[in-house]
Amino acid sequence: MTKLILIRHGRTLWNSSGKFQGQSDIELSQEGISQAEKLAENFPVTHIDRVYSSNLKRAYITGEIIAKKFNVPIIKDKRLCEVSFGSWEGLTYDEIHEKWPNEIETMFSTPDVLTMPEGESFAQVQKRGVEALLDIVNKHPDETIAITAHGGILRTLLAYALHMPLRYIWTLRQDNTAVNIVAFYGDKINVELLNSTAHLSLTQLPKLGRFFLINEVYYDKKISYFTSKWWR
């Protein structure tokens, strides 16, 4: 059994301002670094063998923080980079909607049929992403591997694992530093965890080594809504 810990990168300034990032190489903000550090400190498993990462800085730095915590190597794979949003990169939803109203609506209603202007389709992203995923699984049998990547490509990989059509990828929320766990048993795939950000509401007591929830009310009342947060 090979276990993959699929992780979305920490927050960036473009995330905070609602800009489409895609393959623009935007670094983590201080908040994003803090999120990655909390994840490394409160990681969902006690052992990993290595980290694979997108070649984009925001994912690589997230992975590097985790790799340092576990003292394991980190390997870049450009096939894990985010979907190319082409002409939309650096723009907000409102700016895109003003110029490409039909296309942006199509991306959310039927994402399986759209190719971004000067960019990629989600089918193309899923193809290269699944190839990378299966290469990693075949190369590292019986290991536990962290993969740091991006919201768009992670949705396509989870859709593959869940046998879900790409049309429904927006039902799979992926917050910054969200953790997903997928286990490969030969040809069978078990999805064990989806979009967990529990590490962001945990604090560790040094002497006791135990975890306690904080900000519980905030997380109980946190609302999932359809805005620019879905694609950043």
Q: How far apart are CA 88 and CA 90, in angstroms?
A: 6
Taking the C-alpha atoms of 60, 61, 66 and 71 in order, what is their torsion angle to the nearest 10 degrees?
90
Q: What is the pLDDT of residues 132-188, one digit of tens each?
A: 999 999 999 999 999 999 999 999 999 999 999 999 999 999 999 999 999 999 989
For the stretch 40-81, pLDDT in tens is 999 999 999 999 999 999 999 999 999 999 999 999 999 999
* 9 is a catalytic site residue: yes
Does the structure show a pLDDT above 60 at 221?
Answer: no
- Using alpha carbons, select from 43, 85, 93, 91 the residue that is nearest to residue 63: 43
Give the total residue count for the chain. Answer: 232
CB count within 10 Å of CB 203 equals 13
Q: What is the pTM of this model?
A: 0.87
**pLDDT band of 202, cuts 50, 70, 90:** confident
Concerning whether 82 is annotated as a catalytic residue, the answer is yes
Q: Which of 37, 82, 89, 120 is catalytic?
A: 82
Catalytic residue among 9, 37, 89, 150: 9
pLDDT given for residue 203 in this prediction? 58
* 2-230 carries CATH number 3.40.50.1240: yes
